[in-house]
Amino acid sequence: MQSIEKKIEQYILRRKRGKIYFTNDFQDLGSDGAVRIALMRLINNKILLRLARGIFYYPIIDKELGINLLPSIEDVAEALAKRNKARIIPTGDYAKNKLGLSTQVPANVVFLTDTTPRKVKIGKSKITFKKASSKNFAYKSYITMLVAFALSEIGKDLVTAEDIAIITPALLKEDKSKIVKDLPLMPAWERNIVKNIINGSNKELA
């Protein structure tokens, strides 16, 4: 009979690199203790990387440099959300980064979630999941949602013409009907900025 370690190894090797695993992905292959020992051996054999407690990664390897390429913070957050059957929304500086309003990827990333709040440390970075009301998940458009949280992070009196210029292309590529449905979810000042963009007028910052 194959050892649990060998079963897990074959399971992983049959799949693409870049996949994130959790301890309970292998619960059908043996007892909790045996699975943990097997995973530690696979880490020691450099087949898996341990990202955090109970979170593992089958790394993509840079062909030229021969080094492991780590997953993005969002990859880890989305894998956690999928496992927990949760919805998540990037907020604050991370929402700004995704829209191009900031070039820096924050070390501490905050997501809103509709399930249990928690914090996960990945290397030098930290992912925080904050429980949020259902209103935050009512957006029809992912882009509109990002814009709303990014503008909130910047602040009503600090949004610049340059900020508007950066978010305009993303909004103009989106389905206008979705944006219109999302407008009531925004504060009045954000709503005015978005309406001016989709209607071809930027009077707010003229």
| CATH (residue range 4-69) | 1.10.10
What's residue 201's pLDDT? 63
What's residue 202's pLDDT? 55
Q: Give the lowest-confidence range in 102-116, 130-144, 178-192.
A: 102-116
Dihedrals φ, ψ of 69, to 5°?
Answer: -100, 120
What's residue 178's pLDDT? 95
Mean pLDDT of the chain: 90
Q: What is the pLDDT of residues 35-54, one digit of tens each?
A: 999 999 999 999 999 999 99
Average pLDDT over residues 100-122: 89
How far is C-alpha 70 from the geometric centre of its chain's CA atoms? 14
Dihedrals φ, ψ of 111, to 5°?
Answer: -120, 140
Structure tokens at 188: 């009045």
Spatial CA neighbour of 75 closest among 92, 93, 90? 90
Q: How confident is the model at residue 14 (pLDDT cuts 50, 70, 90)?
A: very high
Report whether 25 contacts 39 (CB < 8 A).
no
- Counting residues of the chain whose pLDDT is more than 90, the rounded percentage is 74
Structure tokens at 151: 């503008």
What's residue 63's pLDDT? 80
Q: What is the pLDDT of residues 169-186, one digit of tens each?
A: 999 999 999 999 999 999
pTM: 0.79
Domains of the chain by residue range: 4-69, 73-136, 138-205
